Chains A and B, each alone.
Chain A
Amino acid sequence: MNFPSWTLLGQSLLSGIFIGSLYGLLGLGLSLSWGMLRQINLAHFALAFLGAYLTFQLTSVGGMDPLLTLGLIAPAFFAFGVLMQWLFSRFSISPFNSLLVTFGLTVIIESLIQWIWTADYRKMDSVYGEMKFKIGSLYVPLPELLTLIIAVTLSLSTWALLRYTDLGKAMRAAAEDPQIAAAFGVNEKRLALLLSGLAATFAGVAGLCLALSYTLSPSQIYAWIGVVFAAVMIGGLGNPIGPLIAGIVIGVAEAMTMALISPAWAPLVSFSLLILVLLTRADKV
């Protein structure tokens, strides 16, 4: 066996970091709603793809800059997240039932996407699509770099929000013990609406990153669920930075497996890591 070149290893490492940051970005909203709202929101993936298709539409047909589409998509998704939480609260949907309800919602959103954009593949043409720069012998594609920057920025901002602001402390308190938090004047229901809106907004942002780098197809919604769930569980529920770190660890491990062994072994990596984490630190998950 020939030892792979340093360029191959370096390029694969970059590739793993980039896809890992997307796992982390997709996992951010999921982790918040699962850990702090006790909702296993499968519709998060469908929302991300809806965001991707809307970005595609606004860019390819509407002629907007992809990054500017967030000005329309983020508020709309925030409103959707708030509405969803209001309905969940109104009908007292339990954590287990949230899994079923959001799965139904996923199917509805997938059908809606297919109805509007058909099942055919869609690739967004954007000014960023082919931009890349070179560091030594390594190529850094701009769309992937943007995803990394966005994922790091959002994860750190959310972490700082939850850790250092009164609003964030109230959110954590409400997630920890709603009754005691309420006794201290925390309006748990309002904060839940805000948190759900935020999680849906993150899905919209992840959609932008998907549209920048990937060819879209409605059925791709399901392709991301397994690995992102693994990143969220390894990273810790309700932890804004955990999914990003876990995502990058998974992404790099997968990429190195592809570079050094075989691409066919890569899917085993995320779930092997998940099993390992569940065996060794189940109490932290």
Chain B
Amino acid sequence: MKLIKKLILSATGVLLGLGLQVAVAAPSGQPIKVGGTLALTGPLSATALIHKLAGEIYVEQLNKKNGLLGRPVEWILKDDQSKPDLARTLYEQLVTVDKVDLLLGPYATGNILSAVGVAQKYQKVLVHHTMGIPSLVKYDMQFPAWSVGYDPATTVTNTLLDALASTTKFPKTIAIVSSKFPSVYMMSVGMREAAKKRGIKEVLFLEWEFGNKDFGPIASRVKDANPDFIFVGAIGLEGNQLLDAMKKIDYVPPMQYFMYPAPGPLAKAPGAERAMAGSIFEQHPPFTNNPLAAEFVKIFNERATKAGLPDNAVETQAAASYSAWQVIEAAVTATKSLDDKVLAAWLKKNKVDTIQGKLRFDGPSNFGDDLLRVKQVQNGHWVVVWPKEWAAPGAKLLTQ
């Protein structure tokens, strides 16, 4: 009996000791510097703010655990003002002056291309989260957490058409209206081809310059063309502007898809009910079945509210940003190294489990699978509706 008691006490002691050790193990030593820029000001700043919050949360969580390799992580973040030329200069600074250990990409295609140039010059690994035109990046040590596959113009548009085919109202006619912003224009051109292959008649194709202010005539032309389905190649605010203009002439298209909308404002806009868009993550099951994702959603919601963001939900942008940090952490932890070549070699051979799903980097330009799903505004909220295995519980694609 005494022996059993001793054993129990010893075991409890060991467990408590271990527990204490885990509890007190804080990162120590020289911080590991992760450098990057975001468009904290300028036309891209509304979205970049989401990436800033996501990054801050990740670094905080990382340092609460054991940092990276037992060392604290410091995120050196600079404002590239939404300017690719400035992003290039700042990444040069990060490498040569701040001497960062690791690089994280900026927000959006143009600035990422600038950062990739610098990373290539100094042979640094660059993990980035929002590269819209995969074929433009050739550097072999850049790794995308924006999981749209190498040829999104084909795969994303076909996923959408598959989703529409699952309903009883597959469109017979389509209007494609598009900003000439490169990453969305590419998708609009892809939709033209995909629609043609599926026998959908194109009744209207329009393009406008990025920064267009008057969407009235565009809305009128869409109404005049009377399509079954509109594919809106809009970025950010443009989707809302077109929706507002359509609402003003009392026109609600039977079905509409927005390529890269400002998700929060669009979901709340009049006339947006049943509008569709792409998404890699929404804050509902099955995505939030992952405990890490659920915790991130909870913290992000709180922080976004505190930061005064009108929409505090975690969706594509925040999830892509979080995933980029997960990619960095996974590679450093697995290799126990900060050597760029070692990290790159590991990433090319291994998949990384992220909150948006498993990412692989062994395809062309290190792009892996296209994980962009179809989401829809239902009762004022975005829910994923396609593919079925990622749909919110009970949700399905609704048509008018």
B-binding residues in A (CB < 8 A): 4-5, 7-8, 11-12, 14-16, 18-19, 110-111, 114, 117-123, 130, 132, 139, 141, 144, 214-215, 217-220, 223-224, 227, 251, 254-256, 258-259, 262-264, 266-267
Contact = CB atoms under 8 A, between A and B. Distances in A.
Contacts of A19: 213-214, 216
A16 B310 contact: no
Contacts, number: 132
A4 B222 CA distance: 11
Given A114-B45, A118-B49, A266-B208, 15 more contacts: A4-B224, A8-B217, A8-B221, A11-B217, A15-B216, A119-B41, A121-B240, A122-B310, A123-B268, A214-B241, A215-B237, A215-B241, A219-B42, A255-B214, A258-B214
Interface in B305-358: 307-311
B394 to A, nearest CB: 30
B247 interface: yes
B265 A263 contact: no
B248 A139 contact: yes
B32 to A, nearest CB: 29
Q: Which of B42, B49, B213 has its CB near the most chain A CB atoms (within 10 A)?
A: B213
B283 to A, nearest CB: 18
B41 A114 contact: yes
A11 B218 CA distance: 10
Contacts of A256: 217
Interface residue SS majority, chain B: mixed
A111 B79 CA distance: 13
A111 B42 CA distance: 10
A218 B236 CA distance: 13
A8 B241 CA distance: 18
A171 to B, nearest CB: 32
Contacts of B209: 263-264, 266-267
Interface of B: 40-43, 45-46, 48-49, 82, 180, 206-209, 211-214, 216-218, 220-221, 223-224, 236-237, 240-241, 244-245, 247-250, 262, 264-265, 268-270, 307-311
Contacts of A121: 46, 236-237, 240, 262, 264-265, 310
Contacts of A5: 224
Contacts of A254: 214
Contact of B265 (A18, A123, A218): A123
B217 A255 contact: yes
A11 B311 contact: no
Given A215-B241, A251-B214, A120 B220 contact: no
A18 B216 contact: yes
B220 A12 contact: yes
A219 B45 contact: yes
Given A263-B206, A263-B217, A215 B240 contact: yes
A147 to B, nearest CB: 13
A8 B45 contact: no
* A-B pairs with lowest CB-CB distance, top 4: A15-B216, A119-B45, A258-B217, A263-B208
A190 B269 CA distance: 47
B179 to A, nearest CB: 10
Given A114-B41, A121-B310, A139-B250, A262 B207 contact: yes
Nearest to B44: A219
A226 to B, nearest CB: 9
A118 B308 contact: yes
A120 B216 contact: no
A191 B47 CA distance: 45
Contact of A217 (B237, B244, B247, B270): B237
Contacts of B240: 121, 123, 215
Nearest to B265: A121
Contacts of B264: 120-121
Given A139-B250, A215-B265, A217-B46, A259 B308 contact: no
